[in-house]
Amino acid sequence: MRNPLLRPLTAALLALSLTAGAQALGPEEGPLTPLSPEAEHPETALAVLEQLARHHYVRRAIDDTLSSDTLDHYLDALDPQRAYFLEGDIAQFERYRYTLDDALRRGDLAPAFEIFNRYQAAAEAQLVALLAFLESGIETLDFSKEEYLAMDRSEEPFLASAEAREDLWRRRLKASVLSLKLADKADDEIGPLLEKRYKNRLHRLKQTTAEDAFQLFMNALAASYDPHTQYFSPRTSENFNIQMSLSLEGIGAVLRVEDEYTTIASLVPAGPAEKSKQIKPSDRISAVAQGADGEFVDVVGWRLDDVVDLIRGPAGTTVRLEVLPPDSEAGAPPRVLSLVREAVKLEEQSAQSEVIEVPRGQDTYRIGVIDIPTFYIDFKALQQGDPEYKSTTRDVQRLIEGLRCEATEATEEPDADDAAPCEPVDGIVIDLRNNGGGSLQEANALTGLFIEAGPTVQIRSASGRVDLFNDEDGQVAWEGPLAVLVNRLSASASEIFAGAIQDYQRGLVLGGQTFGKGTVQTLIPLNRGQLKMTQAKFYRVSGQSTQHQGVIPDIEYPEVYDRDEIGESTLDDALPWDVIRPTRYRRGPNLAPLLALLEDRHETRVETDPDFAYLEAMVERARARSARNRLSLNEAQRRLEREEDEALRLAIENTRREAKGLPAVASLEALEKDDDEASEGQDGDSTEDATIKAASALVEDLESDAPSELDEEEDDEEDRDALLAEGAEILVDYLSLRQTAAVSAP
């Protein structure tokens, strides 16, 4: 898979924050001007090369192999879908395959700019050709022909001729027109809309600077080391520093450019986007509007920093987005959502707890759930000596104290003498789903709440030196049954914690294989911009790396995230999984004898669970859709495909509803309408129905589903988080098996 961090024309992931507005753009006159390096670029290139050679975790020689890899990354970044360069262009670029390293040593950027200018010329020619096609009128396009467009050309050969390239561009235009027709756009709207889109892109192409070309080439070099090493230009550095601050204002999303779309890379916990429950990683933004009634601006094909400027703005203001889920049918109408920009407050990212009751026969078990959205710490308050500074570990310890003896709710305040007795929980689930990491210090301290003492993680530097993080206080906040719930978006610090709990055999790890981000980056200031460079790797106390492979759960759930699209293993040149010497640590009782029994009980239970059956069906549907690599340009065929897909989605939903004793719905439109009404009735804080979420994207955890019908008696059933509920069931199984083993022991 191509590295999504290297999409034109930037390699940085930018948070939408602080205040800046996009300026109105007027028409751009004159031909495209070839770019050449700025005076500071050779010195900066030499500085980047020196830092990589001396301090990167991977010690690579500056040689012909690095030169070849850099060229491949550069071509992939410029032309990921092989729609611009011809075979003849590539043949000419081959003379640089083994000489870019020599040119870099001299500070010679001429080859990089020659290739970039060739790309710019082809991109300009494409837009001019598309505008010419539109001038002839979209009515000249024949949508009754059996014609197809490859949906992914990243592994295809480069085109052999200008005629073949022009035919590809014609098919792309035809696909765009057909998509708009299927989205119920009138013919007299489609031409002007696409004309405006292409003119905007042409204008932005002519705004491309030498800094853009330089940043892209430096990132091709950096990506040859690993996908998390990146050069940030001065403008990108400013945006990255904003992203890393705690005083975020905006929608709370991290973006990347993938092909022509601005795509959601991740969501900031407790940010407006995350709290809306209407936008998810891998969603694509097609248009942006300001305020409650501002006109939508089509942003397909825009530069990432321009999209960032358009979306971010002052706290309290409104931005509206048109969003397309990653597996939406081509031509499906975008979902429109409205977000109020606001500061992301640390306290809103705090861990939260709840109690799930699990009935078993005559008994009811109480399972505490602690949801940790990120590993946070208020460094400023800590440095100022504030004894009440906020941190993940402090908050979780306080929550555990409450769960150990949580009072039964009463309708009125009881007297001290007749207060309801304390009812502690029987087990605890730590929910790390979608937790992308954070403070390493907090991952170490949080692990210490569940083990008496010992190492928690090993960190190996480029020199081979291994340092240990340890828990040394000898205190344990919770000694009872423990489970950790993870998924594909659990990364970095989450993987350190889950891996340590698994290695110590302190608890069960449940869910999906984690992201696999096991490297450590450092920001290095340069004479111009800065370099984010990988300088170390994380290893579990068992010696296994968390890199690339992540943490494999003891009991795996259906994979709701596509592992071919999300995760470290999907990135080009990701550092490999490996092992080092294990450190000394004291394991708990062996869990292996219980895992097979727990797995059997889990499988038996979910076989008849309508939510799990629904999830499996939606996953299967999404896999089938993602396996397609041809898009029909025949209108009748496409309409038939859409009808069949909607019928399948509706059948899957009604199968689930029937199994749960809920009334069937007549159409997906009716279901979405009811869901929107339910959401409006709850001030926009509830999520949309699980059907709509999963029908529009593979990313669906069946979490906190909002009621989709008007009958309030359905609320409890529809509001169930199936994956979390099953985690509580497994923990009760573990508790009962452990008790049985203790009773039967001699």
Residue in 280, 517, 532, 693 annotated catalytic: 517
Active-site residue, 245 included: no
- d(Cα 159, Cα 166) in Å, to the nearest integer? 10
Burial class (CB in 10 A: 0-12, 13-18, 19+), 130: buried
List the catalytic residue out of 431, 471, 503, 562: 503
**Which residue, among 267, 268, 261, has the nearest Cα to 304 in the 3D structure?**
261
Sign of CA dihedral 592, 593, 596, 598: negative
Whose tokens are 């008007």? That residue is: 710
Contact 298, 11 (CB under 8 A): no
**Cβ neighbours for 447, distance < 8 A, ≥ 6 positions apart:** 456, 471, 496, 497, 500, 501
What's the maximum distance between 2 C-alpha atoms anywhere in the chain? 90
CA–CA distance from 624 to each of 17, 327, 330, 425, 617 (Å)? 37, 10, 15, 42, 11
Alpha-carbon distance of 125 to 202, in angstroms, equals 10
Q: Using CA atoms in the order 34, 39, 40, 46, what is the torsion angle rounded to 10 degrees?
A: 90
SS3 94: helix
| Region for 580 from its dihedrals, namely left if φ exceeds 0, alpha if ψ lies in -120 to 50, beta otherwise | beta
The dihedral of CA 553, 556, 559, 564: what is its sign?
positive
The answer to whether residue 517 is catalytic is yes
Q: How far apart are CA 341 and CA 262, in angstroms?
A: 19
* Alpha-carbon gap, residue 642 to 458, rounded angstroms: 51
First-to-last CA distance in the chain?
56
Q: Can you state the angle between helices 187-206 and 162-182, rounded to 10 degrees?
A: 130
Tally Cβ neighbours within 10 Å of residue 739. Answer: 10
CA torsion angle 561 563 565 570 (round to 10): 150
The catalytic position among 492, 494, 569, 679 is 492
Decide: helix, strand or coil at residue 7: strand
Question: Considering just the CA atoms, what is the radius of gyration of the chain in Å?
Answer: 27
DSSP 8-class letter at 139: G
DSSP code of 140?
A: G
H/E stretch holding 730 reads helix 722-744
Q: How far apart are CA 714 and CA 290, in angstroms?
A: 37
Q: What is the rounded CA–CA span in Å between residue 348 and residue 267?
A: 14
Our answer to whether residue 345 is catalytic in this structure is no
Show which residues are catalytic.
492, 503, 517
